[in-house]
Structure formats: C-alpha cells, structure tokens
Amino acid sequence: MYKDFQAFLQNEIADIKEAGLYKAERVIVSPQGAEIEVSSGKKVLNFCANNYLGLSNNPQLIAAAKQALDTHGYGMSSVRFICGTGDLHKELEQKIAEFFGTEDTILYAACFDANGGVFEPLLGPEDAIISDSLNHASIIDGVRLCKAQRFRYENADVADLEKQLIDAKNCRFKLIVTDGVFSMDGNVAPLDKIVELANKYNAMVMVDESHSAGVVGHTGRGVTEHFNLKGQVEIITGTLGKAFGGAIGGFTTGKKEIIEMLRQKSRPYLFSNSIPPLVAAAGIKMVEMMSSTNELQDKLHNNTEYFMEKMSKIGFDIKPTASAICAVMLYDAKLAQDFAAKLLDEGIYVIGFSFPVVPKGLARIRVQLSAAHETEHLDKAITAFEKVGKELGVIK
Ligand SMILES: *Cc1c(COP(=O)(O)O)cnc(C)c1O
C-alpha cells in the first residue's frame, strides 16, 4: 500500500527541491550564541537566531535550571489540571503577569499552542475575529479552529482595519488580532491606532508579542510598552522560545476571566503536557533579571541602532523598525540567495528570504540583532556586507 504513496511523496519532494524551496537543516554543535560552530567545524557569527537578549546560553538561567532539576526533577508526566501543576509553574505565571502588567497568565508548551488554543474557547459563530494578513501561522491555524466569523485586513493598514470593523459591526463580540512585530519586515504593529479603533468600534485586542517581548519598548515589555498601552489590550500571547531564554514554552496573559476560561476549555492546555520544571525555573529567573536591570535591552537597542545606521550609510536599503529585525532589501530572489551564500563564506550566517515567504520581487536578507553581539561582531558583519555588496553590485 505504501508504494504508491511513497512515489507520490518522492515526486512532491522533488518538486519542492526544483522550485528551490527545500529546507535543509544546518547542524550546530555548540551552544546558541553570537558565535556558533557548525558540524563541519567552521565557526560563524550568527545573525539569524531569535536569541535577542543573548539568554539562550546565559549562566544564571542555566544555574536556575540545574537547581530545579535537583529540587523538582526532570518531567511532570501530566497535563496541568491532573497532576502537572508545580509551584514553579504558578510562580512563572504570576511573574509573567507582573512583567506585562496583566491580571493572570496561562502557560503552554509553546506559543503555537497558546495561539492554537485561544480563540475556540472564547468566541463562537456570532462573533468576529479581525486578523492582520501577515499574522503568524499559529494565529491563522487558531482562527481556523474557531467558529467565529473571519475578517482580514492588509498588514498594519488601519484604514483597511476600520473597513473590516464596519463590516463586522453586527457581530456580538469582536477581537482584533495582530503580531506585535512582523517577522519578515520587522515592522511594529500600529497598536496605538488599533486600540483607538477598537475603542471606537467596541472591539477587543489581542497582540502576539513573540518577536517583541524582551525587544521592543524601553524595558522590553513589548509593543504595549512602546505605545504606552499597558493594561489596555485584553490578550497578549508570547513565547519563551525567543528573547525569553530560547528554550521552549508559550503563554497567554491578560484579563482574569479570559485566562480562567482558557484553563477550563483550551485544548492544547487540557490535552498536552506541562512544561518541565527546569524551564519554568529558568523562566522565573529570566523575568527577575529583566525586572532588575535594563542592561540587556539597552545593549540590544544600541546594537540594533549601530548596525542599521552603518548599513544605511554604506548604501544598503534597510527597512526602518523599532524591532531587532533588520531587513536588508535586495528584491531579487537569486541575488538574496547568492548574497547569503557569500556572507557564509565570510563567516556571517544570515538567511535570504524570497517568495513565497515574502512577496515576489521583495527578496531580502534578514539580519537579527542580539545583545549577545559585541561591537567587533557587528563590525565584522558590516565589513562582510560591504565587501559582498560591492562584489554583487548592490552598493557602490
Ligand atoms: C515564533 C512565533 C510563535 C511560535 O512560538 P513557539 O513558542 O516557538 O511555538 C508564535 N507567534 C509568533 C508571532 C512567533 O513569531
């Protein structure tokens, strides 16, 4: 029976390869960091991790995780509501709520699960979800699982959002959903205008802070801090897998009754295992560190500013942003691939993105800055960009 299916899959895989869309994995043999070692033994400077605060290999988080292994063991072997809730889980939920200035938090195994499990328990067919067209795949999937009516607005386009809100005006409850930072352009959602429209049309707001928590805002509280909107959005989702340590785990934080209902009905929470205590312990340490000093956020912001300014000065076309994602626009898909390959030869690891990940004709290299980078790392990358840019005729 498998024979026919096997031939079918082999064909499909060949098509993916032919289209240049095949994703190969690069094997890393060192901890995550500014400099990583790949399996060939080559050391490269890493500019494509979501390790925004450099916490993936932070000694304090490692120590907290090791200690929790001794005091709380390795795994929970249970979902939260049976016997998978530890004191560390409760403490981390509280800490995350304090960090964002929200009322309560519910943890998930990943933000993919937080987004997958947030809509269906809360909204029904008489309600509306109004979603940004570039929202993360997990939001799109979560919306699909929910019976609410769907409205879509063009990326960060508040005029279009208003149109959709007018179209949805007869729905019982309306929820506007947006990523805080969009991963391909690095643009920040216009949350000030979104909240204004939500107030005008009696809608609620949900922000996914996965790429913005720890990054955007003076103290890294995300897009709600950037726009001074603490406590003014009903739902925030986020991940522990990016700036917040980079291991695993996700959360939904927000209004008390919303979180309470999710604990009753959210399927990824009810039917999937609890995160390991060591991850919760490291998460608690992470929030404590971020609450006691602004050192890492400041370093990240300085690094980002430094890199963007120098790259613009050299003549690269950079998308402006308040995030730590720097899109170096090259427009041509082949050029983006060649550029990334040449940078790797120079010891700089970045990824070129082209269609269908970004629109046709808008290929680019995405550079992700980190507090783990030192000025010498940034200078090395800028020099390499300049060299390859001249070689390929991108800059003069
Ligand atoms: C990375 C990301 C997620 C998924 O987070 P995980 O915890 O890795 O599942 C969800 N939403 C957005 C916007 C993201 O960038």
One domain, residues 189 and 281: yes
* Ligand 1 proximity of 118 Cβ (cutoff 6 Å): no
Per-residue model confidence (pLDDT) at position 174: 98
Cβ(254)–Cβ(102) below 8 Å:
yes
Local confidence pLDDT in tens for the 396 residues of the chain: 999 999 999 999 999 999 888 888 999 999 999 999 999 999 999 999 999 999 999 999 999 999 999 999 999 999 999 999 999 999 999 999 999 999 999 999 999 999 999 999 999 999 999 999 999 999 999 999 999 999 999 999 999 999 999 999 999 999 999 999 999 999 999 999 999 999 999 999 999 999 999 999 999 999 999 999 998 999 999 999 999 999 999 999 999 999 999 999 999 999 999 999 999 999 999 999 999 999 999 999 999 999 999 999 999 999 889 999 999 999 999 999 999 999 999 999 999 999 888 999 999 999 999 999 999 999 999 999 999 999 999 999
Per-residue model confidence (pLDDT) at position 20: 80
Per-residue model confidence (pLDDT) at position 24: 87
Residue 161: what are its φ and ψ, rounded to 5°?
A: -60, -45
Cβ(369)–Cβ(47) below 8 Å:
yes
Q: Is the preceding peptide bond at 356 cis, omega within 30 degrees of 0?
A: yes
One domain, residues 322 and 278: no
User: Is residue 15 included in any domain, yes or no?
Assistant: no
* Ligand 1 proximity of 209 Cβ (cutoff 6 Å): no
**What is the H or E stretch that residue 111 is in?**
helix 111-116
* Ligand 1 proximity of 212 Cβ (cutoff 6 Å): no
* Ligand 1 proximity of 143 Cβ (cutoff 6 Å): no
Quick one: which atom of ligand 1 is closest to the CA of 179? 13
One domain, residues 206 and 107: yes
CA of 113 to the centre of ligand 1 (A): 9
CATH of residue 135: 3.40.640.10
Quick one: which atom of ligand 1 is closest to the CA of 108? 7
At 243 the three-state DSSP class reads coil
One domain, residues 136 and 263: yes
One domain, residues 354 and 266: no
* Ligand 1 proximity of 120 Cβ (cutoff 6 Å): no
In whole angstroms, what is the distance from residue 303 CA to residue 301 CA?
Answer: 5
One domain, residues 323 and 288: no
One domain, residues 182 and 277: yes
Quick one: which atom of ligand 1 is closest to the CA of 250? 7
One domain, residues 214 and 312: no
At 357 the three-state DSSP class reads coil
Strand order in the sheet with 325-331: 325-331, 363-368, 351-353
Could you say which of 266, 292, 318 is where a domain stops? 292
Per-residue model confidence (pLDDT) at position 179: 98
One domain, residues 238 and 265: yes
Q: Measuring from atom 1 of ligand 1, which residue has the nearest CA?
A: 210
Per-residue model confidence (pLDDT) at position 328: 97
* Ligand 1 proximity of 239 Cβ (cutoff 6 Å): yes
One domain, residues 160 and 105: yes
Could you say which of 292, 322, 347 is where a domain stops? 292
Per-residue model confidence (pLDDT) at position 240: 98
Cβ(153)–Cβ(162) below 8 Å:
no
In whole angstroms, what is the distance from residue 112 CA to residue 133 CA?
Answer: 17
One domain, residues 87 and 183: yes
One domain, residues 231 and 340: no
CA of 165 to the centre of ligand 1 (A): 26
Cβ(254)–Cβ(234) below 8 Å:
yes
Cβ(157)–Cβ(187) below 8 Å:
no
* Ligand 1 proximity of 323 Cβ (cutoff 6 Å): no
Per-residue model confidence (pLDDT) at position 21: 82
Which range of residues forms the domain containing residue 169?
59-292
Q: Which of 52, 106, 112 to mutate to test the pocket of ligand 1 (most atoms within 8 A of CB)?
A: 112
User: Is residue 3 included in any domain, yes or no?
Assistant: no
Per-residue model confidence (pLDDT) at position 70: 98
Name the residues annotated as catalytic.
183, 211, 242
User: Is residue 230 included in any domain, yes or no?
Assistant: yes
User: Is residue 6 included in any domain, yes or no?
Assistant: no
Cβ(161)–Cβ(191) below 8 Å:
no
Quick one: which atom of ligand 1 is closest to the CA of 249? 7
